[in-house]
């Protein structure tokens, strides 16, 4: 009787583990995205400031290429806000598809990073808070490096790299707003 | 009672048959494990035979618009600017015009919900979309032809909207379509259309896809998948019989 009961518990536990193994990754990988307008409204509490642009030309273009590891896909980057606090929305390819990333910089430190749209089939873990919170408070040190160490995610190397590089680029570009 | 001699003979025969597959799966598995560092994920095959084998039909160019300096074509989800593919994927093409912004000459390309600001060499300056206020449902892109004005206009669900790409303002125009020259579709020469099709087809099939399909057997269709499944069952058989035969081996044999 006792053996039958423990056997039933064993199979119930096994079923539960199988269910979690199937359902959990699917729910975490769901294709939800944040509208850029909603991101900006959230950052500026509904009062959207004017936007302005920074041209990537000359030395800025070279530094941007060094940060990204390739020639930037755009010649000017747009931001909302001012040199003290600004929000940027940039696209960067993870593996094959662009990831839309929103970055907020306040006083030359990252205030927030969010994945607004993720189109790759792998590496979606970067959109979760457990990963993005590593960027909060990071500033730029040395040759456009982040002051905080960003722990990678196994299987999401390229997505992690894309987000790290976009954060570095935004810190670099926001620093040029003062000059 | 299992006949040990017969099982040993079967184990050996299956071992020979599956050896080739072990080699194939090991090599393809190793390649997949290091696919990014080898660069196979970004290398594409342009062989027509392989494309046909995969059932890819090279699509036709859907539409082409031209300005004074550029010809832009839409094929599937790709835009080609003077024969070179633009980064990104796009669902439509509604017009192309040249304009001035500050002291720069730009080419503007409109899709149904985006405006691409390009240099006349085809470098993307900026992509404007809903976050910049670009209305969705763009039917046409046009330019004012009266006087020195270089104003840009969009036709959205029958309404004419003046677009200011510097100030990011999108205001309805009271004067309707008067004085606006709308970008018109053109028909490029066959040679140019063929070049675009060939260029597009060269980005359809990656080496990663081929290696992945060799590894899973899908390169031979459903028969290949069945074959790999069968091999997996044989590998299991080999592992089980191998352990069993080893455990029952005669001392000193």
What is the per-residue pLDDT across B178-234, written as a single tens digit (0 to 9) for each? 889 999 999 988 999 999 998 998 888 888 888 999 999 988 889 999 999 999 999
Strand segments (E) across chain B: 44-45, 63-66, 71-75, 78-81, 84-85, 95-101, 104-110, 115-119, 124-128, 138-144, 152-156, 159-164, 169-172, 180-182, 205-206
CB A66 within 8 A of CB A142: no
Per-residue pLDDT tens for A98-141?
899 999 999 999 999 999 988 888 888 898 999 999 999 999 99
pLDDT tops 60 at residue A29? no
pLDDT tops 90 at residue B88? no
Q: Which helix (H) or strand (E) is A101 found in, with range?
A: strand A98-106
CB B99 within 8 A of CB B108: yes
Per-residue pLDDT tens for B35-73?
878 888 778 887 878 888 888 888 899 999 999 999 999
Helix %, strand %, coil % for chain B, to 5?
40, 25, 35
Percent share of chain B, pLDDT over 90: 52
* pLDDT given at position A19: 63
CB B205 within 8 A of CB B141: no
The pTM (predicted TM-score) of the whole model is 0.73
Mean pLDDT along residues B112-131? 93
* pLDDT given at position A1: 47
**CB within 8 Å: A98 and B88:** yes
Long-range interactions of B117-125: CB distance < 8 A, separation 24+: B117/B165, B118/B70, B118/B81, B118/B86, B119/A75, B120/B69, B120/B70, B122/B70, B122/B81, B122/B82, B122/B84, B122/B86, B123/A75, B124/A73, B124/A74, B124/A75, B124/B86, B124/B87, B125/A74, B125/A75, B125/A76
The answer for A 93-122 residues in CB contact with B (under 8 A) is: 95-96, 98
Average pLDDT, chain B: 88
**CB within 8 Å: A76 and B119:** no
Query: B66 vs A89, B72, B73, B169, B177, CA distance in Å?
Result: 30, 6, 9, 25, 20
Distance, CA of B156 to CA of B166 (rounded, Å): 20
For B41, the closest of A51, A53, A95 (CB atoms) is A95
* pLDDT given at position B44: 85
pLDDT tops 90 at residue A168? yes
Tell me whether A73 touches chain B (CB under 8 Å). yes
Question: What would the two tokens of residue A161 be?
Answer: 């790299």
Mean pLDDT along residues B116-127? 94
Per-residue pLDDT tens for A48-90?
898 999 999 889 999 999 999 999 989 999 999 999 999 999 9
Confidence band for B149, pLDDT divided at 50, 70 and 90: low
Question: What would the two tokens of residue A63 be?
Answer: 């530094």
* pLDDT given at position B55: 80
* pLDDT given at position A27: 47
Distance, CA of B250 to CA of B252 (rounded, Å): 6
Distance, CA of B119 to CA of B136 (rounded, Å): 23
* Structural domain spans, chain A: 1-30, 32-176
Residues of B near A (CB-CB distance < 8 A)? 36, 41-42, 87-88, 119, 123-127, 130-132, 168
């Amino acid at each position: 009787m006792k053996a039958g009961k423990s056997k039933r518990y064993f199979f119930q536990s096994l079923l539960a583990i199988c269910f979690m193994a199937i359902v959990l990754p699917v729910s975490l990988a769901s294709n939800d995205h944040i509208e850029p307008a909603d991101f900006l409204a959230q950052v500026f509490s509904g009062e959207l400031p004017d936007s302005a642009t920074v041209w990537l030309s000359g030395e800025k273009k070279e530094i941007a290429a060094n940060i990204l590891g390739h020639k930037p896909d755009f010649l000017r980057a747009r931001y909302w806000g001012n040199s003290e606090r600004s929000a940027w929305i940039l696209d960067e390819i993870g593996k094959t598809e662009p990831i839309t990333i929103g970055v907020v910089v306040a006083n030359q430190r990252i205030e927030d990073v969010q994945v607004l749209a993720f189109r790759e089939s792998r590496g979606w873990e970067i959109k979760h808070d457990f990963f993005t919170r590593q960027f909060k408070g990071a500033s730029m040190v040395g040759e456009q490096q982040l002051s905080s160490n960003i722990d990678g995610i196994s299987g999401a190397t390229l997505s992690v790299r894309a987000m790290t590089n976009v954060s570095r680029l935004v810190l670099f570009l926001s620093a040029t707003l003062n000059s | 009672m299992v006949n040990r001699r017969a099982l040993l003979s079967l184990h050996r025969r299956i071992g020979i048959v599956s050896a080739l597959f072990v080699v194939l799966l090991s090599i393809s598995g190793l390649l997949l494990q290091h696919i990014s560092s080898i660069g196979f994920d970004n290398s594409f095959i342009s062989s027509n035979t392989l494309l046909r084998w995969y059932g890819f039909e090279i699509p036709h160019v859907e539409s082409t618009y031209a300005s004074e300096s550029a010809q832009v074509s839409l094929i599937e989800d790709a835009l080609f600017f003077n024969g070179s593919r633009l980064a990104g994927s796009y669902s439509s093409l509604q017009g192309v015009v040249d304009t001035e912004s500050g002291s720069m000459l730009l080419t503007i390309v409109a899709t149904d919900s985006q405006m691409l600001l390009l240099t006349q060499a085809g470098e993307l300056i900026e992509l404007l979309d809903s976050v910049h206020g670009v209305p969705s449902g763009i039917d046409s892109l046009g330019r004012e032809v009266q006087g020195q004005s270089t104003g840009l206009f969009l036709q959205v669900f029958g309404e004419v909207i003046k677009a200011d790409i510097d100030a990011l303002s999108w205001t309805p125009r009271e004067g309707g379509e008067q004085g606006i020259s709308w970008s018109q579709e053109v028909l490029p020469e066959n040679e140019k259309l063929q070049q675009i099709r060939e260029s597009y087809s060269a980005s359809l099939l990656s080496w990663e896809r081929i290696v992945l399909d060799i590894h899973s057997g899908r390169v031979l269709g459903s028969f290949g998948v069945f074959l790999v499944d069968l091999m997996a069952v044989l590998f299991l058989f080999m592992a089980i019989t191998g352990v069993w035969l080893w455990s029952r081996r005669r001392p000193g044999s």
